[in-house]
């Protein structure tokens, strides 16, 4: 497992670009909201910890993870330096899991290829609720924190290119 020997919440603050002049959009799925709210909090806290002003963080909610694509596309139009797409898809008894995971992954990839504003993929695709909890503030840390750090680095890359 990719997170077995890594805590998603750990980062070296000295390696993070100055984010005080950046604006970020965070699009949050309402599905599996206990997980997505924890991911959001990890992202928000990391952004603020790295100098982002709270009023430079825009949050929009969407019904589910599949809707993250459209929400992120519209968020790219809001003069933000990067977008974080937060969702959680947990394996069920049908192939719905596969279709949603594939669609969201490809949709976020397409937004990154087609547009100038980076979209960070913070969608947990876990087999169990316990795995999702472990990655949203549990024993593996918080993927939202990791996504925020990636967003800052990508905003800096965009700013310098």
What is the rounded distance in angstroms from the CA atom of residue 47 to the CA atom of residue 23? 10
What is the rounded distance in angstroms from the CA atom of residue 68 to the CA atom of residue 137? 21
List the catalytic residues. Answer: 96
Residue with tokens 């599949």: 66
């Amino acid at each position: 497992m990719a997170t077995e020997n890594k805590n998603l919440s750990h980062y070296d603050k000295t390696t993070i670009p100055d984010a005080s002049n950046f604006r970020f959009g965070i699009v949050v799925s309402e599905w599996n909201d206990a997980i997505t709210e924890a991911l959001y909090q990890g992202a928000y806290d990391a952004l603020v910890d790295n100098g982002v002003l709270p009023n430079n963080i825009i949050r929009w909610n969407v019904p589910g993870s599949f809707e993250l694509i459209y929400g992120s596309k519209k968020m790219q139009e809001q003069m933000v330096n990067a977008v974080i797409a937060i969702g959680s898809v947990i394996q069920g008894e049908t192939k719905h899991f596969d279709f949603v995971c594939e669609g969201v992954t490809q949709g976020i990839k397409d937004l990154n290829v087609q547009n100038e504003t980076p979209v960070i993929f913070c969608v947990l695709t876990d087999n169990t609720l316990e795995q999702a909890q472990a990655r949203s503030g549990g024993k593996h840390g918080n993927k939202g924190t990791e996504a925020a750090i990636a967003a800052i680095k990508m905003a800096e890359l965009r700013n310098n290119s």
